[in-house]
A and B are shown apart, each in its own frame.
Chain A
Amino acid sequence: MRKKLNDYFEFPLELNLEQYSQKSIRKRQVLEKLRTGTIESELTGEERALLKLRIPQDYYVYKLCGVIIHKGTANYGHYVSIAVDRESGSQWYEFNDSFVEHFSLDQLPAEAFGRADKSNNAYMLVYERTTFFEMPAVRKVLEELKTEDDGVRASEKFEELKVDYGKFFDVRAAEEVEKELSNEDERNRQLKVVINANLIDLINTICKNCKYSKQDDYKLVKSLNLQRVPFSSEITEHKEYVRQLEKLQFAGIYLLTVVLRITLKSQYFELLRPLRAAAQQDTGFSVWLLETFAHPYILQEFFVDCPNSKSRFVVASLLHAAFLNVYEHEKERIKKYSTNYLKFLAKLQSKTSIKPFEFPNETATAKKALFIEQPKQGLPYCIVFVYNLFTLMPRVLESTFAVPQYFFLLSTICKKRPLITNFLLENKLFGCLVEILQETIGESVVEVTKKNFIIPSKEPSLGFQSVMAEKSKASHDFNTSSLRAKCYRFIVELFFLVLPN
């Protein structure tokens, strides 16, 4: 049982500890000895030293500087702090969690001394000397008092050991902390500008006001340089359509580079809805999305390595919608490429330059990746996208963030799309899935990594500032059984999509 004593207990504003100090008590004893008959020559060296020792009063005098007051009972209570601002020397404050108030010393007895029937009283007292001393030196001086001379010397030394209290007010700030705080301030300021309810509302409205027609503008879209924003200034025809497309691009870039990088909750889905509708209905927007995400490093940055599952979901959702739309436009072209794909790929490898490709955060697997530039007339965006997406599988399994979303995206793409599954089969990309199931991860998966990524030759309009510092830390070991089980389930599902064909 814990009990709290609320009894009255007072404490002074100024406290002199001389009478309680060992040196002082001993000195008094020695003086008493002399008074009661002991002759000086009978005294020990230590006793003689004591007689000669003079310690300044500053050493013994303390001022009350702070009190921690406890309000309540033994088991349920609350602490309040009162303290004086040493610089002014007289202004007292009361600190109660986040509230600060002036405190008047008149209130001290009532608030802090306590009474049996009152629950608030002082619990801890803070006293400070008005003049500080250099304590390590003081300890030394007071230790070696064995002779009379020691006593004399100590008395002289003591004065020198005083420290000017004023120097404590001059603090060289902890630079690294100040820097971090001002960086944080800057970040918060930027955030306030950039994540702005009004801005999101505006973008929302713009997207909602977009009109989508059923026209087949695939050819028009292919002729535009979508990765260069703005591009409408160069266009003379179809200005309205092109300007709308730019608006959608802007909204998409905002969502992907700003909103998704900062963990916000409701704002995600506000923008996702109109943008997903756009991806489903507007050829230009969906082509731009697919073309952008056909870059493996964009896929990696925004999807595979993204540690935030909501962001990955949003990206997968948009890509899924975009893919469906573009696929409809590209079906015929895909047929043409699918059947001769292997031959085509061989031709491609011999003709074009193969450059080593560096991912922003290089991993052992990525270092081996090479890329091929697209032929002039360009492969279908769907093919490039699916190919690069699949080839990132080792990376997915390594960082394990995106496993569920990744396989989900793959399977929805492959579902009822024999053209796609055939393409993957012909390219022997399914082999590695078998290896994974057989738990010989490494061999065939390494094979997959040796495959070349196909890089659309244009620089993506998204860019990739690596703000996600966490991605360099792989989250789980692939060998945790729950993760493996999840993978296997997806892979088996994929197989079932492929087999009937």
Chain B
Amino acid sequence: MNSVLQQLFMMPAFRKGILECPKATDDSLKLLQFMKTIFTNLKNNKGEAYNASQLCKLITDFDGQHLSPYEQRDADEFFNLLVDRLEDDLRVVNCQNLIKDTFGGTFSNEFVCKECGNISSVKEEFIALNLQIHNKKSVTESLSAFVTSEQLTGNNAYHCDRCSRKVEAEKFISLGILPNVLIIALKRFEYSIQMKYSQSLTLVV
């Protein structure tokens, strides 16, 4: 958690955005106030005069539970949660675009129909790019893999709106809007189901 907050503090644009957004009329925007206090502390060289449990109480995860300071949490998971909850507070004081304007970008999913040539694109928002590291040696390699095209045929055939039926199509993913601050999360953690299966197999025998 410290690492994420430290990185956020070190971004002048984000820091300025948080410190300068107006105060709520009542005391209800606790997470925002917390961020302001931390940033002010850090700015005045007061160091980390906060404790993790304070922050945990201010953030609920997607199940609605408060974070536990004892639980290991992935930095990128925490980043997503923090930013999501912060946006709620920011909305109240009309600063809701801070997150989107700083970190927000889009993917562009484009489908090119092989029959009629119609291109339809779907945009998806992101605040961080998740890149595969499996079998990749660098960011550029991973990005290239991300942006390659995919053939949609057979079972994966695409439904073209103009042709009104399933057709062969080519799918391109690319980066649409590029944010001012690009956060890249590397997929270093994997859930391996394989091990589970192999265990149960030996039991059967």
Interface residues of A (CB under 8 A from B): 1-12, 15, 17, 19-22, 25, 59-60, 62, 65-66, 68, 70, 74-77, 79-81, 83-87, 95, 97-98, 121-129, 132-133, 135-136, 138-139, 142, 165, 168-174, 176-178, 180-181
Contacts and interface: CB of A to CB of B under 8 A. Distances in A.
Contacts, number: 204
A97 B184 contact: no
B83 to A, nearest CB: 13
Contacts of B48: 97-98
Contacts of B39: 174
B72 A75 contact: yes
B139 A125 contact: yes
Contacts of B147: 19-20, 25
A1 B75 contact: no
Interface stretch (B62-70, B151-159, B168-176): B168-176
Size range of the chain B interface in the assembly: 35 or more
Contacts of A139: 177
Nearest to A79: B3
Given A20-B143, A136-B97, A81 B3 contact: yes
A15 B131 CA distance: 15
A169 B133 contact: no
Contacts of A136: 97, 101
> Which of B10, B23, B33, B37 has most chain A Cβ within 10 Å?
B10
A169 B12 contact: yes
A171 B20 contact: yes
Contacts of A181: 37, 40-41, 44, 46
B137 interface: yes
A457 to B, nearest CB: 42
Interface string B181-196: 1111111111110011
Tell me the dominant secondary structure on chain A's binding face. Answer: mixed
Contacts of B104: 135
Contacts of A4: 188-190
Contact of B192 (A3, A25, A95, A169): A3
A128 B178 CA distance: 11
B135 to A, nearest CB: 9
Nearest to B45: A100
15 contacts: A9-B137, A9-B139, A11-B184, A22-B175, A68-B7, A74-B189, A77-B72, A79-B75, A123-B186, A125-B185, A128-B11, A136-B97, A142-B177, A170-B16, A174-B20
B61 interface: no
A21 to B, nearest CB: 5
Nearest to A172: B20
B195 A81 contact: no
A486 to B, nearest CB: 31
Contacts of A177: 19, 33, 36-37, 40
A74 B188 CA distance: 9
B199 to A, nearest CB: 10
Contacts of B120: none
A133 B144 CA distance: 25
A127 B177 contact: no
A6 B190 CA distance: 11
